[in-house]
Amino acid sequence: MGKTVTVSNLKKTLHYLKRNGIRQAYYAMRERIGTEAKESYTYEPVDACVLQTQIREAKSMDVKFSILVPALDTKEEYLRAMIDSCLAQTYGNFELILADASKEDQVEKVVKTYKDPRIRYRRLKQNTGISANTGQALMYATGDYVGLLDHDDVLTPDALFEMAACIEKYRKEQIQLQLLYSDEDKCDQHQQRYFEVNRKPDFNLDLILSNNYICHFMVIKRQLIQELGFRSVCDGAQDYDLVLRCLGRILGKENQAHRTGQGEGNPVTLPVAHIPRVLYHWRCHTQSTAQNPASKQYAYDAGKRAVEDFLRLRGWRAEVKHLRHLGFYRIEYQPDLLAVREDAAVVGGKLIGKGNKITGGIYTAEGIPLYHGLHKEYSGYMHRASLQQEAEVIDIRCMKASRQAETILEELIGHPYLQHSVTGKFDWQDCLKECECRSEQDFVDLSRKFCEKVRAAGFRIVWDPAMAEKI
């Protein structure tokens, strides 16, 4: 069922119209209505038998978590729900550290009603901002990993168990994870309705530079987060800033391990893991960013600053711009991506067919097209169709390639690489005249073979929705 028209929804619509104009607002409204009509998500709680099994299995694991919660004038209903969700965890080896910057003592009074020794309360002398307040909580952390939890959100009962199990799994493979994240959804203020599930991809560098898709629930190795700390200059997007700085540190230590593969097609395993389960409920109410994005414009400006800092530290010349949806960014490399980034060898775009709909351009490793049938003006699920992102496969009919990638394609097709004199893209119509590509599947198969060889050579493939080719 579609959502009820509320004052908050009207405000968001008017704000979008003001920022992006009538045309974009029209397409956004059409897409939103269509999406809501199809929405059928329901959060399914974990079965009680499964939870009991987790309690038994948890006894064999020794990972300790420190959950940090900066509190500020938290409503009692939300505060208790947050604390109760922690105490209901099937994995009990954790500490909950609350750093309270409230002027009054309402948070302290609620916390004192709990007698669990795992709850550690710290009253702050003053409110110095969410980053500094969270940093105060971090000072007392003793766990192996640190999890970040907002004071009005809740964890699912299996959240810490799933994190611990994942850490143990990688340990057996001699990999010490540095950062883990899960899927999430949103809930209304009374946790009666769950919606807008965010099914996240595995680690994708270019996507995280476009939007903080990692967000909740996230845990980070304590030593790493303590080394980096929180930056007040990025208040409002402090989690995003932390993620990017963590990734910068991880990529640096892996000696260019940001590449998806090295030599002989052997993939590099980064110490970053995605758990494809909803482990976090992001509560929506009138003051939350989830409910009213326009209420925290400063947060999106802070996110832009975090991306800019990441690019600067890597030596990537680029300009970061806000996209039409708040919290989403576009990176314009100077002079272009392939000239700036040594890790990337191919940039692909979308193929546009009849009715101005996307027919291809980006595919899974198996050749399944993403965003197929979506109108070219639509942004897609979680707006990802409008975001730059690392791709397994792009279509050679809409791409630009580095000299290394050109050589790979030449060897594959037995013909010199030809570049269009105007667009700079691969001139596939002239170059593939004598190629055996006849059907749509032939082009997809050739694209898959090419991209597999590019990734095996240690390069990233980036999909840029601003590039397009009429088919």
CATH classification of the domain holding 279 = 3.90.550.10
Give residue 197's identity as a one-letter amino acid code. Answer: V
E-state strands within 252-365: 261-262, 266-267, 272-283, 318-322, 329-333, 344-352, 358-360, 362-363
- Residue 242 within a domain: yes
Q: Cis peptide leading into 217, omega within 30 of 0?
A: yes
> Could you tell me the residue range of the domain that residue 1 belongs to?
1-39
pLDDT of residue 268: 60
**Domain count within the chain:** 3
Residues 56 and 19 in one domain: no
Tokens of 236: 């409002």
Q: What is the pLDDT along the chain (471 residues), one digit of tens a residue?
A: 344 445 555 556 666 666 667 776 665 676 676 666 667 899 999 999 999 999 999 999 999 999 999 999 999 999 999 999 999 999 999 999 999 999 999 999 999 999 999 999 999 999 999 999 999 999 999 999 999 999 999 999 999 999 999 999 999 999 999 999 999 999 998 999 999 999 999 999 999 999 999 999 999 999 999 999 999 999 999 999 999 999 999 988 544 444 444 434 444 678 999 999 999 999 987 555 555 555 588 999 999 999 999 999 999 999 999 999 999 999 999 999 999 999 999 999 999 999 999 999 999 999 999 999 999 999 999 999 999 999 999 999 999 999 999 999 999 999 999 999 999 999 998 888 877 778 899 999 999 999 999 999 999 999 999 999 998
Please report whether residue 321 resides in a domain.
no
**Do 143 and 250 lie in a common domain?**
yes
Asked if 427 contacts 416 with a C-beta cutoff of 8 angstroms, the reply is no
Statement to judge: residues 52 and 32 lie in one domain: no
The DSSP-derived string for 62-115 is ---EEEEEEESS--HHHHHHHHHHHHT-S---EEEEEEE--SSSHHHHHHTT--
Tell me, yes or no, whether 175 and 192 share the same domain.
yes
In whole angstroms, what is the distance from residue 200 CA to residue 403 CA?
A: 33
If asked whether residues 353 and 275 sit together in one domain, one would say no
Which class for 366: exposed (0-12), middle (13-18), buried (19 or more C-beta within 10 A)?
exposed
Answer yes or no: do 21 and 79 share one domain: no
Residues 278, 180 share a domain: yes
